[in-house]
Amino acid sequence: MKLTPEAVSAAFVEGSGLTSLDVHPVLDWFTLGIVHTIWRNGPIEEVHAVAGSLSDGAMFQINTWLTHTCRISVADWMTSHPLDDIAQVREDSFVILLDALQHLMADPNQMLPHGRTLRSTAGRHLGTLLDDIDAKFHSMESIARDLSPASVIYYKALEGFIHCQSWWGTPGWPPIVDGFVFLLNDPDATHWHGRHNRLASRPAEVADEGELATALKTSPWALSESACDWLASAGIGYVDVYPGH
Query: Which alpha helices (DSSP H) does the chain contain, by range?
Result: 5-16, 23-34, 44-45, 56-80, 91-106, 118-122, 126-146, 149-163, 173-184, 209-218, 225-233
CA distance 110 to 104: 8
Mean pLDDT of 164-170: 93
Mean pLDDT of 133-149: 95
Q: How far is CA 11 from the centre of its chain?
A: 21
Q: Could you tell me the pTM of the whole model?
A: 0.89
State pLDDT tens for residues 68-95.
999 999 999 999 999 988 989 999 999 9
Could you tell me the residue ranges of all domains in the chain? 5-163, 173-238
State pLDDT tens for residues 172-230.
999 999 999 999 999 889 999 888 777 888 899 999 999 999 999 999 999 999 999 99
**Closest by CA position to 3, among listed 101, 206, 143:** 143
CA distance 14 to 68: 27
On whether the CB atoms of residues 162 and 15 are closer than 8 A, the answer is: yes
Mean pLDDT of 139-159: 92
Q: What is the mean pLDDT of the chain?
A: 89
State pLDDT tens for residues 52-62.
678 999 999 99
Residue 170 has a pLDDT of: 93
